Amino acid sequence: MTRVCLIGEAGTNLQYELLSRETAREALSTYDLERPFENSLAVRTVSLGAAVSLLNDLNWYLTRFVDEVLVSEPSVSDREWLSRPLAIRLRNGDIEPDDTAEFCKIYGLERIDPDSEPTADAGQTYRLVEPLYVRRVDGDRPEYDLRDVEETLVVRLTETEYSS
């Protein structure tokens, strides 16, 4: 299953903004909502095409309330996410899955309350911090070194996103 994760802009409550609006609420009503990170909302869809379609349905809200859109497609990678533009290119057949790994953005995952113990719903205890843009060379990806973090989240990008 393909997963979509929306990260809200700073100063907004993403879940409130989406669920308080009828069109967005209806678009999300058939999905089980999750909160994997601080100020995020995630759903599982049946395919990459369904994920892109959902994002298109929510586009008006994404431009206003969402800082980052992440798509996880298991046929591409079990551990790395895709940016929305890269997911669209994959869905359209403009790029092959094996050709998506060169350009990346790595987020540090910072614990919201460093003194708390992880729980069954551990995702909400982390926030995405300070992205590092990297390029794989000969299959090797540089390590995240902007701050000391326990974990990282890798997002594959298009070359255009990497260059901007």
Domains (range + CATH), the chain = 2-96 (3.30.70), 103-163 (no CATH)
* pLDDT (tens digit per residue) in 67-99: 999 999 999 999 999 999 999 999 999 999 999
Task: Find out whether 111 and 125 touch, Cβ atoms under 8 Å.
Answer: yes
Residue 42: closest CA among 23, 17, 14, 76: 14
In this structure, what are the phi and psi dihedrals at residue 56, rounded to the nearest 5 degrees?
-65, -40
Query: What pTM, to 2 d.p., does this model score?
Result: 0.91
Residue 117 in this model has a pLDDT that exceeds 80: no
Under DSSP, is residue 89 helix (H, G, I), strand (E, B) or coil? helix
Work out the pLDDT band at 125, boundaries 50, 70, 90.
Answer: confident
